[in-house]
Amino acid sequence: MKAKLFFTLIGLSLLFSCSKDEDPVVATTLPSIETTPINSITTNSAISGGTITNDGNSTITSRGVCWNTSPNPTTINFKTTDGTGTGAFTSNL
């Protein structure tokens, strides 16, 4: 039986700026991502990824997928590192 993989895309960063006389400001546009469905699932591997379509006026410092065989994976579990910036990426899990 194939294990279910739960994943969360990682690598999106938010931009915060502040000055002495101003309140902290959060970037007005959040980064956007379109995920790729998990495919080529085997007992030990799968392929996923996505496309970061908008950087939200922030620097995308890391792209990838984190996963686990339990719900709510984090980067402490398993993760890929698939480049930086906007654009498409493929993650070999």
pLDDT in tens, 36-79: 999 999 999 999 999 999 999 999 999 999 988 899 999 998 99
Distance CA 24, CA 53 (A): 26
CB 71 within 8 A of CB 43: no
For the purposes of burial, counting CB atoms within 10 Å of the CB of 52, is it exposed (0-12), middle (13-18) or buried (19 or more)? Answer: buried
pLDDT of residue 29: 84
